[in-house]
Structure 1
Amino acid sequence: MHCLGFLIVFYFCSARADSHKPPPAAGATAEISRWPFAVSPQTHLWGSVWVPHCAGALISTTTVLSAAQCYHMPSPRLRVRLGSTYSTFGGTLITVSSYTNHPDYDPTAGDHDVALLRLAESAVLSAVVQLARIPAAVFPISDGSRVDAVGWGQLEYDDDASITLKEAALQTVNQDICTQRYANLHPDPEGTQIYQVTSRMLCAEPATEGLGMCEAGAPVVVSGDVVVGVQSWGFHCGGSVYPQVVTRVSEFSDWIVANGS
């Protein structure tokens, strides 16, 4: 279904035949042609220095879906890199004309962690630049379901960020179990910000212990291109006890359509 430039997926719809991908090797380097909706936002520091800043997914030719925690600077200091396996070179650069954080986002609570970046010009679709789909407002995901996270960030705790695109296989975790694990951790003795797990979040743990995806804004997908989550927060990314917590995109599908360009 095509709606205002967005591809909306209902849970009973079949996935595209070409969207089923074999499971990635744990923490594997990935080619952009495998995940052509992956976007590397960039921020301008000083002079001519631009650095990668979080991750995102192209959901229309002029809209990128990402995490609200990443954006608190003037939009002229933002651009995105499309169509490249690398966050620092290649592909196409497009200026961000504006961005919108969800109005209920509260950095002290970590909830409603979703943002839309509006591009100053339309992305040109190609073999390495494609649109991701977003789920409808009703899109149940069973516990233990396979999901994939894609980005340029850390794959494990205390790891360095990567300039090459990475993919990590995850599996969803029961919401009550996830909530209880984090409740037991609070307050975190290491000072990491720990939030309350809400219904607007989805929990997932690495299919291979120690290898997750720590980059805020990184898309978490099913069926190859349906963005069901946006990486938000967690404790010791890649661990087996405390799952990664992602924004549940289906909770915001109506807001995305209403506020996207």
Structure 2
Amino acid sequence: MLLLLLLASAFLLVPGSGAGRIIGGREAKPHSRPYMAYLSIGNKSDSPHCGGFLLRPDAVLSAAHCVAGKTKVNITVTLGAHNISKKEPSQQAFHIGHWVIHPSYSGDTFENDIVLLKLKPRAKLTKQVSCIPLPSHNKHVEPGAMCTVAGWGWTSMTQDKTSVLMEVDLKVQSKEVCETTLKRNYLQQSMICAGDEDNKKATYRGDSGGPLVCNGKARGIVSYGLKYNIFPKVFTRVSYFEPWIREELRKFALQDLPDSPSSD
């Protein structure tokens, strides 16, 4: 009976939210990923945090589970950071008053795990702060492709921490590997799974919301993984949601027109 309980618990889904860092990676060259965003959720220094990435000067994309249900909490987005524990001259901080979670997001299965956060005022684009392009609608990255993920999450499963941006290379896995490991929780159309078969490299808690970057484009958003296994990790497939993203960005732009009602 105990064995059955342990086996069942191994397949519980857990997001990479809260805290979390890259496992088995390396420190990123400072400001080599100028699209990276750090989301602080709460008022305390040890508040939960997530990653994200800049799409436009007025919009950051992240994972819905990072902010879902947090209507009365302060959310701050910091751009231009490398060492998040310092006040670097390159940093730009924004208090977020408006965000849009995908209407079909599920906190149980992590389906449609995507959110757009509005920056107001708009970010100032610099060498340390710039946007990353989106892939075309339903343009799939092929299994076997090597992609990179970055974040400020835990560097081990025992909560080792670092203040600097870390990065790691992960291989996109086949549909068969993903479905065999994740069972019904993996939806190929709207998800990507990637990882290191040797279980030495992975995203982990706190890396949620960061981008899976392949060939210079944001292909995925760090979403979830199995509770006791770092392989594979699941990412929201950005290309599937490209029409929804474009429509919400259009609404963001309309909100900034003179005499337009604001939902902030």
Q: Note whether the superposition's TM-score is higher than 0.5.
A: yes
Query: How far apart, CA to CA, are the structure 1 residues paired with 2:75 and 2:236?
Result: 22
AA at the equivalent of 1:80: V
Q: Trace 1:204-215 onto structure 2 (pairs within 5 A).
A: 204-206=194-196, 209-214=199-204, 215=207
C-alpha distance 154-228 of structure 1, shift in aligned 2 (>3 A): same
The aligned residue for residue 242 of structure 2 is 253
The aligned residue for residue 223 of structure 2 is 232
Identity among equivalent positions (%) equals: 25
Q: Trace 1:100-119 onto structure 2 (pairs within 5 A).
A: 100-119=100-119
AA at the equivalent of 2:215: S
Query: How far apart, CA to CA, are the structure 2 residues paired with 1:86 and 1:211?
Result: 21
Confirm or deny: 8 A CA contact 1:75 1:99 kept in the other structure.
no
C-alpha distance 233-30 of structure 1, shift in aligned 2 (>3 A): same
Tell me which of the two structures has the higher relative contact order, counting C-alpha pairs closer than 8 angstroms and 6 or more residues apart.
2
Where does structure 1 lack aligned partners over 5 or more consecutive residues? 1-25, 184-194
The list of structure 1 runs, each at least 4 consecutive aligned residues, that deviate by more than 6 angstroms after superposition, is none
The aligned residue for residue 17 of structure 2 is none
Query: Cα offset for 1:51?
Result: 3.7
Q: Trace 1:64-103 onto structure 2 (pairs within 5 A).
A: 64-71=60-67, 72-74=69-71, 77-89=74-86, 90=88, 91-103=91-103
- Describe the superposition over 1:15-67 as per-residue Cα deviations: whole angstroms up to 9, x where unpaired: xxxxxxxxxxx511113421000000112335xx5746110000000100000
Per the normalisation by structure 1, the TM-score is: 0.78
Query: Cα offset for 1:182?
Result: 2.1
Query: How far apart, CA to CA, are the structure 1 residues paired with 2:49 and 2:202?
Result: 18
Confirm or deny: 8 A CA contact 2:42 2:48 kept in the other structure.
no
Query: Cα offset for 1:75?
Result: 6.6
Question: Whose radius of gyration is greater, 1 or 2?
Answer: 2
Confirm or deny: 8 A CA contact 1:203 1:245 kept in the other structure.
yes
Equivalent residue in structure 2 for 1:55, among 48, 51, 54: 51
Where does structure 2 lack aligned partners over 5 or more consecutive residues? 1-23, 253-264
Equivalent residue in structure 2 for 1:216, among 198, 208, 213: 208
Confirm or deny: 8 A CA contact 2:147 2:171 kept in the other structure.
yes
Query: How far apart, CA to CA, are the structure 2 residues paired with 1:65 and 1:207?
Result: 28
Confirm or deny: 8 A CA contact 1:156 1:213 kept in the other structure.
no
C-alpha distance 161-254 of structure 1, shift in aligned 2 (>3 A): farther
Query: How far apart, CA to CA, are the structure 2 residues paired with 1:104 and 1:149?
Result: 25
SS in 2 for 1:148: strand
AA at the equivalent of 2:56: S
RMSD (Å) for aligned C-alpha atoms:
2.2
